[in-house]
Structure 1
Amino acid sequence: MADHVLLEAGDDLVRQLSHEREAVKAVLELVWNSLDADANEVDVIIERSATEGVDKVVVTDTGDGISPEKARTAFKQVGNSDKRMGGKTERLKRPLHGKAGRGRLRAFALGDSTRWTSTARAVDGRLMRTTIESEISRRTTWRIDSQPAPETDRPATKVELWGKQSSHLLRLLEPKAVAQITAALAPYLLTWTDVRVTYDGHRIDPRTQIQEEEHSEDLTFEYDGQTHSISVRLIHWRTGTERTIALCDAASSPVESIDASAEHTDFSYTAYVLWEPMPQHRNEIPLIMLGGDTPLAPLLRVARDWISGRLEERRRRERRRLVDRWIDEGVYPYPRHAEGDQARAEQATFDLVATSINRHITGDRAKKRLTLSLLQNSLRHNPDEMVEILEKVLSLSGDDVSHLHGLLQQTSLSNIIRASSIVTSRLQFLTALEHLVFDVETYGAVKERDHLHKILERELWVFGEEFNMMRSSEIGLTRVLEHHRRAVGWDPTPDGPVHAVDGSTRRVDLMLSAESHEHDRVRHLVIELKAPKVDADREQANQVDDYMQAVLNEPRFANVETTWDFYLVVRSIKDRLKPSLRQANQPEGLYSEPTNYEHAHVRVWVRTWSEILREAKQRLEFVKNGIDHNPSLEQALDYLRQRHGDLIPDQLRHPAAVPTPRSGTAHNPAV
């Protein structure tokens, strides 16, 4: 008996529902149909053509089959499947997957011609063999033929799909296809252990692919003023690149899947989010991207946070195991237990980075030790350049480089190391600078222009962290005007030179500027440096006072929101100048502060290196105590040679030429 059943849906809707480009999903729908028919065995066979393409797909199962009555009903309409009303299969009471009545339409993703051959009991109890056929050219019409089956037959179904010429079918032959099918079926197969699914000769057995770690937890999310309960189950795969979030119903049957291949790229996993109403929200994922109002948005936020937390826990365990192995091999460049906060922070950051590039740390014991030592040195001294170094040395892939960039930008530990490295270097410089300006066998060789000026251009933090701009040493007053006008937002181009009080175009040593965002002011610092052998007298102070007068007398400097500080910086101050720096009700060191000028706030200071060094060390004191670093003179001079070797006096360029400080030599008692 043969009938033709017309599907009650338009061809365009059938084409849309068939997902013709998603061959693996089509196979999965057919497998789920078999499982929903209480099949204990499902076999997917891929028949290849002579050119190694896909010629035919065959799915067989040992389920209860499709009765003639069910065939005529099921293949007549889209949606309103008879599965939607119940949650269990008829015979074995297993959870039903299909609830939308669309699975059979996905067959057109696998073949232009389709045939179901199914043996099942009819309503009257007879064993019937039903054949259901259709072609893509008439995909809304199904030919259904039922005939009595021999009593020796058993209920079963065979689906055959052939005649499709599409490159999309080649995805069925990729190893990723097995991983996708394993991930989709894992919760079901782990629960119903008597079910056997075979795909292209490979048994789908998630138990052989799962890592030891597996997590599940009940969570809640809020939507529209109500609290909803979900369960999340995380399965870690031993191999592959599967990273998927499967949105499932309460029976772990996937409704939608989200590709998470760009997330947590160091793991292969599938996260199953179980929520009973999930089938009602099929196809809502695109709405989230458009900011639509759907409960899947808060559901996914809660689920992703939980997934990220579990994966981070796994990272920590794996890092610890890997570090322990390096320690046992004798290649780890740190002691097993670090002493002190700074050492622990550095070691923790090293572990993060080293374990992230573990697959590049290969070779014998000596090579591993060398690689890890180089990595330690790069992290300690060049944290900002470390990714570039590793990329060149280890030929890191683009993914590795991106991962390391993100790691070093996100972890606070690397920031601690970076800050500690800066503080350590600065402490070394202060010790070296103290030696340059106070040691009796050294300061005579230190010149203001050749040495101090140029060295301090690279270490402007000594005068205050707020300064962010400077001009080259020994700039003229005209350039000072340019700099000032640019800082306050005016046209910097001067319309003529700036002259000092005596009519000359005087030069200054250093100029720094800083903008105060709190009070919308610009502060300029003009520094006149003197060689350590020069003691400050009135002559030197008046020289700086002339700079100040040039600013006051020049209308082009006028700006009420600007503060000018002029520093004369010296090793010591002669007695006859000291009374001028210790006036009543004035801060010590202030030499001049005119009050009868409204267009600028200008001050002249005489500062000693003792004061400047002391203030700089006080700014570093908190971090210095935290890292427990008190550099020796030799460490300080090593820093000076590395950072300023081209600028220091000849006698300090080589370790052998370092003078030994003598007891009682002139030094900075305040530092």
Structure 2
Amino acid sequence: MVVLTLKAKNDHLQRVASTRDNIKAIAEYVWNALDADATEISVDLDRTSLGGIVAIVIRDNGSGISQSRAEHDFESLGESWKLHAARTTKRGRAIHGKEGQGRLRFYSLAQNARWTSVYETNEGRFQIKIEIDANHLQNSSVSEPTSVPANEPTGTVVELSPLKNTFDWLGGEDARSEFDSTFAPYILQYPDVKIVYDQHAVDPDKTIEHSYQFPSQPIICPGRTVKDLTLRVIEWKSHVAERKIYFGGEAGVVLGSLPASVTAPDFSFSAYAYTPFFNEIAKAHLLEFDGGLADPAFARVLEYIRDTLGDYFRARKAERSGELIQELKDAGVYPYEGDPRDEIERHERQVFDIATHAAVSYSKDFKKADNPLKKIALGLLKEALKNNPESVTRILKAVFNLPKVRQDEFSQLLERTELGNIISASSLVANRIVALEVLREIVFEPKHRNTIKERGELDALIRDNTWIFGEGFHLTMAEAGLTKIMDRVSDELALKRKRGAKVRKPDGRIGRIDSFLGRVVPRENANLHEYLLIELKRPSLEIGRKEVDQLEDYVNAILAQPDFINTSTQWHFFLVTTKYDDVVGQRITQENRPAGLFIDKPNHRVWVKSWAELIRECDARLRFVQEKLRIEVSTEEIQERIARLKASVLKSPDQPQSDHRRMGEPSFDFDNAAPVSVNGQQPQTGS
């Protein structure tokens, strides 16, 4: 017997050998057998009379371990013969291990590992025995070869015993399904191989429900491109304990795995990703416990895989629910008609179908309901999904009495796949695009431009779309006088001020501004507030010095108020028009200032902006998302929106229908006007 000593310290070897994945530890010995060209491999769990597992034995009919190979491989770490071999010696199959470390994986399971191997040479067949103790991983005892009969089959038996802990769970269904998940792709790749785990053969034909191979494609990663990534997903007939993504350098070979972290209710699956890049990651020991996320390229590939799987299972869920959805359509209770109009509705329908499938499958009340009630329930679900996706799970509970576990699954689906965010963002962007198109039509098209007034369609449109001036501006008061503005600001700043005290311009006249919007800006100083005042001009008016002077009067009236001299406020004043004359143009295009900036002071800025400039800025914010969502707005929809806008203004008994006062004409006092609601809610301060 010879004792081989690894040139590495025991604590280092323990780190290399340790794993919390017990099935992976056992699988290492199966992979070694496959790399030795074995066609039959069995993993036997030796039990006591009471059923407790006391030993793990792996048997194979491979080519065995020769004395020379044992003396080389068991005396070195990371210098396996497989390192320079692309394929197995006899059968030309893909090789799994190349690191020469798998034999040490028993450390997490057993106190000892013993190999009994028969191999063939030109002189005949021989047997050797090898043993490693978990307390001395650096030492391997290798027996002298002994001759065996020529009919003695080659192969290796590895016995792991005594076990360090109670591993009875290894004989359970979860362990077996994990083992099957690991080796099913190999059996598919090499059907002549038979692998048995605890007397149960790995049989893909009996265990696979459905499989799909994604098209191979390169992934652009930070600093490199990962080429030839192939991805396959297998759906299992039986439950799997943990859904995982398995990584391999070549199809059928698994180097490691990570949790799938993909929301796919009711699916038992495993995913298999293959690329030579994973050999590098495995060599760096990054395929366990998300360690690979430290590598930016691997993190990007993993993100791609998870995104692809998420898309796949949403489609599969929709596919499963297709039959049910067709039944609802045939019954006339499905709330959508025809094909989806755009990407927004396509996403919306996809989530709706999944939610409906979940609700109908588990709701006895819905199944018993008459068609009119079903139609109402599904219509409610549709509207919630379209306008407030976050409320969908509450509706599933209240209307469909969906079990808590199914509510949680659907909540995770919305959260992890961000479908709710997609729908909300799509709806938001679509509404904003329509609003911009309507605004563009109002201020630029001659048929509207010459009839649109400040009060009416224009200020109503701006009132309901305050985001045009910035996402944070949310307070609006249509046609509010300066006195009312100051009262409102007093309320916002929690200041005491005599209600109704008149605020006048320097010439003593009562001022009025067209729209008042405000926001509180989150800063280190919680008392700092930010406000926006807007003066709108009708599209047909070209402004000049007089209108700019009027704006400056408003600015001075606000800034002169003693209540706010020592208050931390920031003011933004805007005069918005379609066109300004050359005099105004010169005043707002000064060197070292942004275009449109008229006055720039520490606590306030005054701007003169054209509608064209505002629309361009809004377009720039929305264009990228619009292209990704492929949102298109038809001419008919624009005209319909304008018509509805006009109708809503003309029918409002509280909304004066006359033109905005012209410069110098008498004006109504709007100091007592009530705040205008935004999206059905009274204005309030937010941060």
TM-score range, shorter chain: 0.5 to 0.7
Partner in structure 2 of residue 147 of structure 1? 146
Q: What is the CA distance between 1:159 and its match in structure 2?
A: 1.4
In structure 2, do the counterparts of structure 1 residues 236 and 562 end up closer, same or farther at CA, with 3 Å as the change threshold? closer
Which of 460, 464, 474 aligns to 1:461? It is: 464
CA distance in 2, matches of 1:370, 1:403: 24
Q: What is the CA distance between 1:336 and its match in structure 2?
A: 7.4
Equivalent position amino acid for 1:219 in 2: Q
SS in 2 for 1:230: strand
CA distance in 1, matches of 2:176, 2:192: 20
CA distance in 2, matches of 1:270, 1:97: 18
Matches within 5 A, 1:118-267: 118-122=117-121, 124-125=123-124, 127-145=125-143, 146-166=145-165, 169-170=167-168, 172-220=170-218, 229-239=227-237, 240=240, 242-250=242-250, 252-255=252-255, 257-266=256-265
Which of 492, 495, 499 aligns to 1:493? It is: 495
Structure 1 position 403 matched with structure 2 position 413: yes
Counterpart contact for 1:420–1:623, Cα < 8 Å: no
Which of 517, 523, 527 aligns to 1:513? It is: 517
Q: What is the CA distance between 1:384 and its match in structure 2?
A: 4.7
Q: TM-score, normalised by structure 1?
A: 0.63
SS in 2 for 1:83: helix
In structure 2, do the counterparts of structure 1 residues 625 and 20 end up closer, same or farther at CA, with 3 Å as the change threshold? same
Q: What is the CA distance between 1:211 and its match in structure 2?
A: 4.6
Matches within 5 A, 1:292-311: 297-298=296-297, 301-302=300-301, 304-305=303-304, 308-309=307-308
Matches within 5 A, 1:296-445: 297-298=296-297, 301-302=300-301, 304-305=303-304, 308-309=307-308, 312-313=311-312, 315-316=314-315, 318-320=317-319, 322-328=321-327, 330=330, 333-334=333-334, 337-338=337-338, 341=341, 346=345, 349-356=348-355, 358-362=357-361, 363=363, 365-366=367-368, 372-379=378-385, 382-391=388-397, 393-394=401-402, 395=404, 396-405=406-415, 412-416=422-426
Matches within 5 A, 1:644-659: none
SS in 1 for 2:84: coil
In structure 2, do the counterparts of structure 1 residues 359 and 11 end up closer, same or farther at CA, with 3 Å as the change threshold? same
SS in 1 for 2:34: helix
In structure 2, do the counterparts of structure 1 residues 387 and 140 end up closer, same or farther at CA, with 3 Å as the change threshold? same
In structure 2, do the counterparts of structure 1 residues 564 and 493 end up closer, same or farther at CA, with 3 Å as the change threshold? farther
Equivalent position amino acid for 1:481 in 2: M
Q: What is the CA distance between 1:140 and its match in structure 2?
A: 3.0
In structure 2, do the counterparts of structure 1 residues 184 and 279 end up closer, same or farther at CA, with 3 Å as the change threshold? farther
SS in 2 for 1:100: coil
Counterpart contact for 2:231–2:274, Cα < 8 Å: yes
In structure 2, do the counterparts of structure 1 residues 74 and 627 end up closer, same or farther at CA, with 3 Å as the change threshold? same
CA distance in 2, matches of 1:553, 1:85: 81
Q: What is the CA distance between 1:463 and its match in structure 2?
A: 10
SS in 2 for 1:493: coil
Matches within 5 A, 1:77-92: 77-92=76-91
SS in 1 for 2:464: helix
Matches within 5 A, 1:634-653: none
Equivalent position amino acid for 1:199 in 2: Y
Equivalent position amino acid for 1:214 in 2: Y
SS in 2 for 1:194: coil
Counterpart contact for 2:390–2:420, Cα < 8 Å: no
In structure 2, do the counterparts of structure 1 residues 477 and 302 end up closer, same or farther at CA, with 3 Å as the change threshold? closer
CA distance in 2, matches of 1:100, 1:483: 73
Matches within 5 A, 1:596-607: none
In structure 2, do the counterparts of structure 1 residues 98 and 465 end up closer, same or farther at CA, with 3 Å as the change threshold? closer
Structure 1 position 626 matched with structure 2 position 637: yes
In structure 2, do the counterparts of structure 1 residues 75 and 401 end up closer, same or farther at CA, with 3 Å as the change threshold? same
In structure 2, do the counterparts of structure 1 residues 12 and 408 end up closer, same or farther at CA, with 3 Å as the change threshold? closer
Q: What is the CA distance between 1:48 and its match in structure 2?
A: 3.6
Q: What is the CA distance between 1:110 and its match in structure 2?
A: 2.4
Aligned residues with identical type, % of pairs: 20
CA distance in 2, matches of 1:148, 1:311: 57
Matches within 5 A, 1:16-165: 16-49=15-48, 53-122=52-121, 124-125=123-124, 127-145=125-143, 146-165=145-164
Deviations 1:77-101 (A, max 9, x none): 2221122222222332323222211
Q: Which has the larger radius of gyration?
A: 1
Q: How many residues align?
A: 535
Shifted more, 554-563 versus 352-361: the winner is 554-563
In structure 2, do the counterparts of structure 1 residues 332 and 10 end up closer, same or farther at CA, with 3 Å as the change threshold? farther
CA distance in 2, matches of 1:229, 1:469: 49
SS in 2 for 1:285: coil
Counterpart contact for 2:110–2:161, Cα < 8 Å: yes
Partner in structure 2 of residue 436 of structure 1? none
Counterpart contact for 1:66–1:118, Cα < 8 Å: yes
Structure 1: stretches of 5+ with no match in the other structure: 425-455, 527-547, 566-597, 602-621, 641-671
SS in 1 for 2:82: coil
Deviations 1:536-592 (A, max 9, x none): xxxxxxxxxxxx999589642689956599xxxxxxxxxxxxxxxxxxxxxxxxxxx
Equivalent position amino acid for 2:410 in 1: D
Q: CA RMSD in A?
A: 5.7
Q: TM-score, normalised by structure 2?
A: 0.61
Counterpart contact for 1:245–1:273, Cα < 8 Å: no
Q: What is the CA distance between 1:238 and its match in structure 2?
A: 2.7
Deviations 1:134-192 (A, max 9, x none): 3323333333334332444222321111222325x355244343333333323322121
In structure 2, do the counterparts of structure 1 residues 14 and 625 end up closer, same or farther at CA, with 3 Å as the change threshold? same
In structure 2, do the counterparts of structure 1 residues 411 and 523 end up closer, same or farther at CA, with 3 Å as the change threshold? closer
Q: What is the CA distance between 1:401 and its match in structure 2?
A: 1.1
Deviations 1:335-382 (A, max 9, x none): 77427848x955751332331563443256445777645423533565
SS in 1 for 2:81: coil
CA distance in 1, matches of 2:412, 2:384: 18
